[in-house]
Amino acid sequence: MEYRPRRKWRPYLQQGDLLMGVPVVEWPPVLFVLRGAQAGRPPQPGDILEVLDAATSPDAFADGEDLIVANALLSTVLLVSSTCDIEHREKILVVPVLPIDVIDNAARAEATRQDKVYHRFFMPGFRSTGPHGDVVLPDSFAELALLNSVPRDRIPLALRINSLTERARNLLKAKLTTFLARPEPAE
């Protein structure tokens, strides 16, 4: 797996770009609904909010949608949307990139390094100097099971810290296909 030299980065975002500082949303263990001071409009800055447990609140999602409380982490992410979709869609698909040391099982970490885990795409570490200063990414993996949809305007080109080569992008596409379209066990 290789990265493009900075001089060969495209002047636009593309599948396989690594971006730093993108909010990734994680579902909380308990789902809470937010209600603003006035019904019928989203909460505004300065509003007093009511937090309701969605499981016990009878009117949670009564209109089919509600604002919820969720965890968001600023993360390094891998852009997985197809390059042609990035310019034309309102939302872009990304997955968080995590250091391999978060895997506490040595055999599982080695399987991830060898790309033998369906939901993980191994990414060797790198050092990069650019607009973000010195960026060091240790050996890591893209966690495909944590696919996030992010508004396109929240991912400016300036957040890019590296970009996969064409060959590495093809490996990513194969990995995404294996993860999302692998055969189901026979019934």
Provide, for the chain, the percentages of residues in helix, strand and coil under a 3-state DSSP scheme, each rounded to the nearest 5: 25, 35, 40
Q: What is the pLDDT of residue 53?
A: 83
Segment 155-181, tens digit of pLDDT: 999 999 999 999 999 999 999 999 998
Q: What is the pLDDT of residue 17?
A: 96
Binned at pLDDT 50, 70 and 90, residue 57 comes out as confident
Cα-Cα-Cα-Cα dihedral of 112, 114, 118, 124, to 10°? Answer: 60
Q: What is the pLDDT of residue 70?
A: 85
Segment 20-56, tens digit of pLDDT: 999 999 888 888 887 765 556 667 777 777 788 888 8
**Structure tokens of 175?**
């990995």
Segment 60-97, tens digit of pLDDT: 877 777 778 888 889 999 999 999 899 889 999 999 99
Q: Is a pLDDT exceeding 60 seen at residue 106? A: yes
User: Cα separation of 162 and 20, whole Å?
Assistant: 9
Domain annotation for the chain: domains and CATH numbers:
6-25+74-181 (2.30.30.110), 28-69 (no CATH)
Q: What is the pLDDT of residue 139?
A: 94
**Structure tokens of 11?**
């002047």
Give the residues across from 79 on adjacent strands. 94
> Do 81 and 92 contact (CB within 8 A), yes or no?
yes
Cα-Cα-Cα-Cα dihedral of 76, 80, 86, 91, to 10°? Answer: -70
